Structure formats: C-alpha cells, structure tokens
Amino acid sequence: MPTPSLLDFCEQISKIRAFEEVVAEGYRDRKLPGLLHLSMGAEATAVGVISSLEEGDRLYSSHRPHGHFLAAGTDPRSLMAELAGMESGLCHGRAGSMHLMDERAVMATGIVGGTMPIALGHSLVIPAPGIVVSIFGDGAVQTGTFHETLNMAALWKAPVVFVCENNERIEFSSREEHTTVKDIVEYSRLHRMAGEHVDGCDVEAVAQAFSTLARDVRKRTGPALLVCDISRLRPHYEGDLRIQDGAADPLEICMSRLVEQGHTESELRSRHGENVERARELLDSVMKRGDLPSPSDDVALVLKRMLP
C-alpha cells in the first residue's frame, strides 16, 4: 500500500482528535456515561502504526482504545452510539468505551496488559503474511502478562508487533515510581527480538519505524517491540482534573510541518473545525435516534432517558 501523504495523516489525526473532543463534551454534558480514557496525545502512534497494516492484519487494543479503533476503520457512528450505551452501538451498547470489539481492531480491555496474550494466541493462527499488533501502555510493562507474553512470543517466533504507548504515566504516578528500568526497548534485547524507540508524536517517524519492523515480522523471523513516546493531553480518565502541562501535541506537530511545506495554518485549522462539527452532528444524531439504551448502560442515565 502507498504511504499516505502528511496531509492524509494529519486528516486522520484530526478526525480522531475531533471525535474525542466531542466525546469529552458529551461526557461533561452528561450525554455519555461510563468511564472514559481518551487517547488525545496518542493519535500519531495509532495512525502511524495502523496506516502500515495490510488487509489481513489484526490489532488488539487497551483501555484507551478509541483512536486505535477509528484508525483501524471502525465506523465512528457505531462507536459513538456504543459510547452512548445504545443498542445501535458497535457492541449493542454492552461494551462501552473499554471493551470494544470489531473486525480489524479485534478487541480492547479494561485489564491492563489483558489483550497481550490473546494477541499472541491470534498470531499463531493468522495466515501469512498477516501479523497481529498488540498495543498497550507503559503501565502494562510492569505486569506479569507482559513478561510471559514476550517470552512465549520470542520462543515461538510469533508474528506479533508489540507497540508500547509510553506516556511515562501510570494512572497518577510516573514511570520512575514504578520501575528502575529506564528504557522499555531493553526488554526486546533480553528476548533477542527486534526493538525500536520512536517519537510517538511524529506520525511519519512512527509509520517508518513500524513498517520496517513489520516487514521482518511478516517473514516469520520473530516478534518485535516498538516503543512510542507519546503524550497524555487529557486527565487519566474524564472527570479527573489532573492534566499534564506542556506535553507535545501530535496534531500541532503535524500541522506545523504542513505549514513548513506551504499549507496555511487557517486552512488546516478550518479542516479540523469541520471535523469537530461533523463529530458533533454524529453525537447529536446518535442521541436523537432514541434507541433503547442497553441494559448495561449507566443506571442513572437509563432512568433519565426512560422516565418522562
């Protein structure tokens, strides 16, 4: 597949950002229930990785999955309806934000590191040259699941690319409060697998690094680990107030590179504004459809919608 242009990358990042900006508004306005971990700051990693996937490849996600699913082609309307707890949602309103399932992005989970061994199992049956991508946060690296999965994947030369979204944050604490290991790539060296570190806010660098690793993984030479340094531009979960200041913003980085290439800032910002408007229309239309909320919806919101 041809590599998308920087403008295409920027558009994809903008659409994910716009979707989540509206999700944040919807949560604040009590339209969307549940526990939401937004992926703002990680979009370039999702887009860079997923743009390098091929038809038969599959992806396993984490508790911060919206960007992964949207980049993998999940219909934004069915995702929005899912977040609203609607019967018309991607998983009939039963999954909410954290337990999404679809075809290409196979599943997400609220259990940190929980999809890693499942991704490994899937990779053992995926037809060549297909690969499986397992995306997780730096908090998962301190779980037993991470170590067991990397061990078996290396031993079995499984076609998995492990992608760590390293925001140096595990809920409310920093990485150094959890571990003495500074460089996560060191784990790939231990298991004699390929490993790379990349600026996860730079979509072109992510796409380049991922596709280089994936090329060999497709040839069944063994798994690989890509560590992407990303930002967390929202609190750990919506509703919390602690926001990291001064973090790098992949959308801004992408836009300023495009400006250097001759695009105007106003053109890029108005394109983003249109994406926000489209996402708002999506949320409004999902709310207006008047679908029955699913039984697993937030109880207070169910009652609010059902009672006069």
Ligand X SMILES: Cc1ncc(C[n+]2csc(CCOP(=O)(O)OP(=O)(O)O)c2C)c(N)n1
Beta carbons within 8 Å of 122's beta carbon, 6+ residues apart:
58, 60, 106, 132
Q: Which does 140 bind (CB under 5 to 8 A by kind): Mg ion, ligand X, none?
A: ligand X
List contacts with ligand X (CB under 6 A): 63-64, 110-112, 137-140, 165, 167, 169-171, 236
What is the binding site for Mg ion (CB under 5 A)?
137-139, 167, 169
Sequence-separated (6 or more) residues with CB below 8 Å from residue 306: 293
Q: Which is nearer to ligand X, 142 or 211 (CB)?
A: 142
Q: From the list ligand X, Mg ion, none, which binds 204 (C-beta under 5 to 8 Å, kind-based)? A: none
| Amino acid letter for position 23 | V
Cβ proximity to Mg ion: between 61 and 167 the closer is 167
Least gap, CB of 146 to ligand X (angstroms): 10
**How far is Cα 166 from Cα 184, in angstroms, rounded to an integer?**
9
Instruction: Answer with the entry of ligand X, Mg ion, none that 111 interacts with (C-beta below 5 to 8 A by kind).
Output: ligand X
By beta-carbon proximity to Mg ion, the closer residue of 97 and 167 is 167
User: Please, which residue, 160 or 282, has the CB nearer to ligand X?
Assistant: 160
Provide, rounded to whole angstroms, the least separation between the CB of residue 305 and ligand X: 28
CB of 112 to ligand X, least distance (A): 4
CB of 39 to ligand X, least distance (A): 8
Residue located via tokens 């806010």: 201
CA separation for the pair 259, 184 (Å, rounded): 34
Q: Which is nearer to Mg ion, 66 or 169 (CB)?
A: 169
Pair of tokens at residue 252:
């801004």
**Which 3 state secondary structure label does DSSP give 228?**
strand
The partner in contact with residue 202, picked from ligand X, Mg ion, none with C-beta cut-offs of 5 to 8 angstroms by kind, is none
The CB-of-273 to ligand X minimum distance in angstroms stands at: 27
Nearest residue to ligand X, by Cβ distance, number only = 137
DSSP lists the bridge partners of residue 224 as 161, 194
Residues ≥6 apart with Cβ < 8 Å to 54: 1, 129, 130
Q: Which of Mg ion, ligand X, none lies near 185, with the C-beta cut-off 5 to 8 A by kind?
A: none
Q: Is the Cβ of residue 116 or residue 283 nearer to ligand X in the bound state?
A: 116
Shortest distance, position 262 Cβ to Mg ion, whole Å: 36
- Decide if 96 contacts 81 (C-beta within 8 A): no
Query: Which listed option, Mg ion, ligand X, none, makes contact with residue 63 (CB within 5 to 8 Å by class)?
Result: ligand X
Say how far apart CA 15 and CA 50 lie, in whole Å. Answer: 15
CB of 299 to Mg ion, least distance (A): 30
Q: What φ, ψ does residue 257 adopt, rounded to 5°?
A: -70, -40
Output 230 or 283, the one with its CB closest to ligand X: 230
Which listed option, Mg ion, ligand X, none, makes contact with residue 93 (CB within 5 to 8 Å by class)?
none
Distances (CA, A) of 51 to 55, 90, 121, 221, 304: 11, 22, 23, 22, 41
Question: Does residue 245 contact residue 4 with C-beta atoms inside 8 Å?
Answer: no
- Contact status, residue 48 vs residue 210, Cβ threshold 8 Å: yes
